Amino acid sequence: MRGKCYLKLFLVALASLIGCAGSHSNKVQVSGTATFGGEPIERGDIVLLAVEGDAAPDAGKITDGKFSFPAAKGKKRVEIHASRPGPPDNEMGSPTRIDYIPARYNANSTLTATVSANSNDNSFSFVLTEK
């Protein structure tokens, strides 16, 4: 009798896990490219923030100008961040990093993207300029 109870408990737990996995179906794969000043962004981050509602942001890494990650559907405000090694800290001599992507592409970004239910429509190209 005890074995059947454990089996039922296991099956209920398994069913709930499968149900939770299915709840992520609102995310689809997005991918694309990001360049700055005509060159691929070597290493950076891309963040998609929901324009409407209070959905959590989706984010991914940019490597050699390319990105790919799951994101929730809907209209997004896009932020792109990247930094480079800077001069050593004068006091401690430790290395520093300098953000080189202008604020108009991150903190003050007007870049947008619409993540569609159709994954074929979710390839984006962001061409950032220095001026």
d(CA 32, CA 126) in angstroms, rounded, equals 8
The structure tokens listed for 40 are 């691929």
Mapping DSSP to helix (H, G, I), strand (E, B) and coil, where does residue 59 land? Answer: strand
The rounded mean pLDDT for the chain is: 84
Domains assigned to the chain: 26-128 (2.60.40.10)
Confidence band for 25, pLDDT divided at 50, 70 and 90: low
d(CA 6, CA 11) in angstroms, rounded, equals 9
How does pLDDT run across 51-61, given as a tens digit for each residue?
A: 998 889 999 99
Q: 7 - beta bridge partners?
A: none
List C-alpha distances in Å: 105 to 1, 10, 101, 109: 63, 49, 7, 4
Confidence band for 119, pLDDT divided at 50, 70 and 90: confident
How does pLDDT run across 56-94, given as a tens digit for each residue?
A: 999 999 999 999 999 999 999 999 999 998 888 777 778
How does pLDDT run across 34-47, given as a tens digit for each residue?
A: 999 999 999 999 99
